[in-house]
Structure 1
Amino acid sequence: MRIGLLTEGGYPYVSGDAGLWCDRLVRGLGQHEFDIYALSRSERQEDEGWVPLPPHVSRVRTAPLWTAEDDGAAPGRRARRRFAEHYGELATALCAAGADGPSGEPGRVPRTTEADRFSSALYGLAELARDESGLVRALRSEGAVRALERACRAPGALRTAREARVPDLLTVAGHVERALRPLSLDWYEDDGLGAVDVCHAASGGTAALPGLLAAHFFGVPLLVTEYGVRLRTHYLASGAAPAPGGARQGEGTDDAPAVRALLAAFHGRLAAEVYGRAARVTPGNAHARRWQERCGADPAKVRMVYPGMNAARFAEVGESSECHEPDTLVWVGRVEPAKDLVSLLHAFAEVRKEEPKARLRFVATGAGAEGEAYLGHCRVLAAQLFPDEADGLHAVGCNPVSFEEIGGPETATLADAYASGAVNVLSSVVEGFPVGLVEAMFCGRATVSTDVGAVVEVIGGTGVVVPPRNPRALAEACVALLRDPERRARLGAAARARALELFTAEQNIAAFHGIYLELVSSCPVDRVVVDDTGEPLPFGVPAEAHVPGRWTAPGTRAVARGGPAWAAGPPVRASVPTPAGEGAR
């Protein structure tokens, strides 16, 4: 079959989100054909290029989200009237009282009048963009801002929306225009997304928008995979950063109450539309599933698919029960404040009181500018907590705390990092799917983790879990495992068995292969095969959706009436000729 893989800021670009699992998925399903439709987030990302692609990727089409060219000629009077109608309906749906905001947990979103209004407006704008070859100029126009203002001032609008100033409206209009840029793409043709059997969006939100339009225009089933809920990300990031490209003169800021409320409503409505229209939604953990179902996903359409990881590179360490440093705790991960290394250092100070021989190794897999500053703070704190052993804290030796990086003489690989200690520690206060924890499980290591994100779901009963921001509890758990090698061995073996059963790349690929087949088999065939007289021909359409070659039979022809990829392709001939002298029944 032919899969349209939809990404935003990730695969096939070298840098970005979800690139690794997308690459494993595509390479693992070589029996299928992939078309990649990628939205880039920055010029730098495009300049860095793509990862090498396998031969069964037949097409890659890209479009930037960070910029958009003007459509050219101004739309005519009729087009302006259609735009005003649809955009006005969209704005009214956003401003309606009762919309969810980023400050509270979203409730289950039913198919209400406002949800239907948003849906109708969205597809109305999509059809207008298709007819007019884009909507960039219209979405940037003064008419869009005026429509938002009318909706904000209308009776029954959100209280915070009624307080919106003109700069706030300009900011909201700018964000909506950026989010709706996929409407203006030329991907929605018979030889584009209309030619695929399944659309697979690698995240929700903007990445899934082309899949919504493919379902609307061609009936292509949409599969949405989220390992981190995009709606939750929007809620948490609201007000935290300026608009991409900076604000224009007179624009408001993202942290203004009216801006936050309207953007939260927009992303909430879009998420509800994506979840509601998707044929299947595949969260990567129970936390993501709860968000999706409370935001409109039908539980009957939700399938849990855990992220798949390469277990082979940890096989040697996992199969060996030998521990070279039985008194050592190891932390492995990307350095950032959310990892709460400060609490881990304070906890280790308590561990040293009980176990003077204990050591703590920090092995960093990367750090941005914020992470480098945080790492410097942690080095200073380590020197303060262990003043008598502060000399050489940056190196590996007799000191109780060391800071290292992958690729160094002591830790050339990730497997070496996990093999260097008896207990792996995760001290995060915010965590999605804990990749480092799964890697430690592949290595057969006992773990102590904080109860955040999907940690409990991942670890099951194979590790020790403590409350976050609680150094004393973290210290007590670490001491208990350091003093009990037999318990460490039991937990490590159980953790490895669990990881190999649930979190390998093989199980991930097999799950998606099954879902693809399920979607194609359940997709309705919305076309009729007729003979030369125009009469329907029973059993004229083969069961296979995408099989090379043609079924030739004299005197028959196909009439496409929408439907999935193959409905827009060459006429399909019946596999069995009409018997002479018999009419179609």
Structure 2
Amino acid sequence: MRIGLLTEGGYPYLSGETRLWCDRLVRGLGQHEFEIYALSRTERQEDEGWLPLPPQVDRVRTAPLWTTEAATDGRTPYGRRARRRFADCYGDLAATLCAGGVGDPATTSTEGSALEADRFGNALYALAELARVEGGLPTALRSETAVRALERACRAPGARRAAREARVPDLLAVAAHLERALRPLSLDWYEDDALGAVDLCHAASGGAAALPGLLARHFFGVPLLVTEYGVRLRAHYLAAPDAPPAVRALLAAFHGRLAAETYGRAAAVTPGNAHARRWQERCGADRAKLRTVHPGMDAAPFTEIGEAPECADPGTVVWVGRVEPAKDLVCLLHAFAEVRAAEPGTRLRIVGTPAGAEGAAYLGHCRALAAQLFPDEAEGPHTVGDNPVSFEEVGGPELPTLADAYGSGAVTVLSSVVEGFPAGLVEAMFCARATVSTDVGAVVEVIGGTGLVVPPRNPRALAEACVALLRDPARRARLGAAARARALELFTVEQNTTAFHDLYLEIVSHTPVRRLVLDGAGEPVPFAAPAESHIPGRWAGPAPRAVPRGGPSWATGTTRTAGGFPAAEGA
């Protein structure tokens, strides 16, 4: 079958959250054909290029979400009827964000606000239909008409308090955010030779990535599968903490409504863990549609370390990950001070690279704290010397690979205060290492009784758990062996691709045939497009083309072949 893989800020680019699991999924499902529809987040991401693509990827179409459009004079560049229709549709969408009693959109969706949910969906699809007819919406979404429609919704009787308190700068900020979020409505992907020709849309995340899937379902009846390993709505709630309350409330309402619409229209939703599943249920996802599919990770690089009988240094505690405040290395350093007092010969290896400028500043703070906690053992504030705490990166002479980092110690620690799916924890489990983790995100689900779990921001509990494992080699060995067995059973690439292959078949088997092939006399041709015509290699010959529906070309995206060059006509 032909799969339209929808991504935002990830695959096929070299950087991004979804690039690794999407690449493993596509390579593991060589019996299917894939078309990639990718939204990029930054110019730098596009300049970095793509990952090498396997032969089952027929086409890649990209569109930027980061471009700054030219300023307008505030007018909507449509005819009178189109302007009126845009104002009505945008006003209906804005009204659902300001509806009285909404508060948290997730709460209203679970309490049965079907009327507002339908109104939001109808306004969204009406805007998409207008975009197809008028050649896109970017200018209209940035116009004075949009801002005034948003203002009227905020001032309408019954609007909630946060919306009524919005001032002109707040309205401009919200309108600008909605324009960026709704840019996928103006793409040229919704044609018979694009998303209309795929058998299934698979969105690699919620939010903007799922929007093209919603429109493909609306225009062509293409079924939609949504996968979330990190819930997009949760990320929006945590974003922009310094924004005015009115801006935060209106944007939270929009993303909550969009999440509820996505979950409601999807044929199936696959959370990556129980933590994400609870978020989705809270936002209105039907339990009957939810199928937990754990991320697939490559266990091969960790096989040698995982099968080794002994660790390199039984007196070393290891932390591996991206250095950023959410990882709470400050708590880990204070906990290690207590570990060092109980076990004087213990060492701590912090292995990782800083995440951006904030991570670099946090790393400098942690280095200084390590020198303060162990002043008699350090040569200086930014040198390792004899300090029992070392800050290292993978790729050096002592730690050439990631597996060597986990293998360099007896206990692996996760000290985060915020975590989604702890991929580093799974890597440690592949290496058969005993783990001590904080109870955040999906940690308990991943560990499953094969490691010790303590409350976050509790240095004493973290230290006591580490000391307990350092003093008991037999227990470390038992937990490590159990952890490796659990990881190989639940978190490998093979189980991930098998689960999605089964889901693809199940969804398509319940979807009516949508493409009608006609002969020269205009009569339907039964079985003219057999399933095997899509097998890579095209041994069955080219499939007959579906009946064209026509429609204007209002492209704003880029079409490329799998090799990265502009696609030829009809590619």
| SS of equivalent to 1:177 | helix
Could you say which residue in structure 1 is the equivalent of 2:332? Answer: 344
Distance 2:48 2:526 in 1: 53
Could you say which residue in structure 2 is the equivalent of 1:510? Answer: 498
Aligned 1:355-394 pairs, distance under 5 A: 355-391=343-379
Letter in 1 for 2:207: G
Could you say which residue in structure 2 is the equivalent of 1:84? Answer: 87
The reply on whether 1:328 has 2:316 as its aligned counterpart is yes
Give the TM-score normalised by the residue count of structure 1.
0.87
Aligned 1:125-164 pairs, distance under 5 A: 125-164=127-166
Distance 1:344 1:114 in 2: 47
Asked whether the 8 Å contact 1:394–1:402 carries over to 2, the reply is no
Deviation per residue, 1:83-131 (Å, 9 max, x gap): 11111111111110122449x9786263521111000000000001011
Distance 1:356 1:446 in 2: 20
The reply on whether 1:113 has 2:115 as its aligned counterpart is yes
How far the C-alpha of 1:239 sits from its partner, in A, is 3.5
Cα–Cα, structure 1 residues 542 and 462, in superposed 2: closer, same or farther, change >3 Å? same
Could you say which residue in structure 1 is the equivalent of 2:306? Answer: 318
Letter in 2 for 1:112: A
How far the C-alpha of 1:538 sits from its partner, in A, is 8.6
Deviation per residue, 1:453-492 (Å, 9 max, x gap): 1100000100000111111111111111011000000000
Asked whether the 8 Å contact 1:204–1:274 carries over to 2, the reply is yes
Could you say which residue in structure 1 is the equivalent of 2:211? Answer: 209
| Greater relative contact order structure (CA < 8 Å, 6+ sep) | 2
Deviation per residue, 1:27-74 (Å, 9 max, x gap): 111111110001111111111111111111111111111126579992
Could you say which residue in structure 2 is the equivalent of 1:12? Answer: 12
- Equivalent of residue 230 in structure 2, options 217, 228, 234: 228
Cα–Cα, structure 1 residues 384 and 152, in superposed 2: closer, same or farther, change >3 Å? same
- Equivalent of residue 439 in structure 1, options 423, 427, 431: 427
Letter in 2 for 1:425: V
Asked whether the 8 Å contact 2:107–2:282 carries over to 1, the reply is no
The reply on whether 1:99 has 2:97 as its aligned counterpart is no
How far the C-alpha of 1:324 sits from its partner, in A, is 2.2
Cα–Cα, structure 1 residues 534 and 62, in superposed 2: closer, same or farther, change >3 Å? closer
Letter in 2 for 1:44: R
How far the C-alpha of 1:546 sits from its partner, in A, is 5.0
Asked whether the 8 Å contact 1:283–1:303 carries over to 2, the reply is yes
Give the count of matched residue pairs: 544
Asked whether the 8 Å contact 2:296–2:496 carries over to 1, the reply is yes
Distance 2:384 2:397 in 1: 10
The reply on whether 1:195 has 2:183 as its aligned counterpart is no
Could you say which residue in structure 1 is the equivalent of 2:268? Answer: 280
Distance 1:99 1:391 in 2: 58
- Identity over aligned pairs, percent: 78
| SS of equivalent to 1:407 | coil
Letter in 2 for 1:95: C
Aligned 1:48-63 pairs, distance under 5 A: 48-63=48-63
| SS of equivalent to 1:418 | helix
Letter in 2 for 1:230: R
Distance 2:136 2:549 in 1: 25
Asked whether the 8 Å contact 1:268–1:295 carries over to 2, the reply is yes
Distance 1:184 1:558 in 2: 24
Bigger Rg, structure 1 or 2: 1
| SS of equivalent to 2:291 | coil
How far the C-alpha of 1:359 sits from its partner, in A, is 1.1
Asked whether the 8 Å contact 1:68–1:181 carries over to 2, the reply is no
Letter in 2 for 1:200: H
Of 255-264 and 218-227, more deviation after overlay is shown by: 255-264
Structure 1, unmatched stretches of 5+, are 241-254, 563-585
Letter in 2 for 1:346: H
Cα–Cα, structure 1 residues 111 and 323, in superposed 2: closer, same or farther, change >3 Å? same
Letter in 2 for 1:52: P
Asked whether the 8 Å contact 1:426–1:449 carries over to 2, the reply is yes
Distance 2:265 2:288 in 1: 13
Could you say which residue in structure 1 is the equivalent of 2:36? Answer: 36
Could you say which residue in structure 1 is the equivalent of 2:556? Answer: none
Deviation per residue, 1:268-327 (Å, 9 max, x gap): 101100011011101011010011111121110111010111100000000112122111
Give the TM-score normalised by the residue count of structure 2.
0.90
Cα–Cα, structure 1 residues 534 and 60, in superposed 2: closer, same or farther, change >3 Å? closer
Letter in 2 for 1:219: G
Structure 2, unmatched stretches of 5+, are 551-571
Distance 1:531 1:8 in 2: 39
- Equivalent of residue 428 in structure 1, options 403, 416, 421: 416
How far the C-alpha of 1:401 sits from its partner, in A, is 1.4
- Equivalent of residue 448 in structure 2, options 447, 452, 460: 460
Asked whether the 8 Å contact 2:14–2:49 carries over to 1, the reply is yes
Deviation per residue, 1:150-198 (Å, 9 max, x gap): 1111111111111111221111111111110010111000001001001
Distance 1:203 1:361 in 2: 34
| SS of equivalent to 1:334 | coil
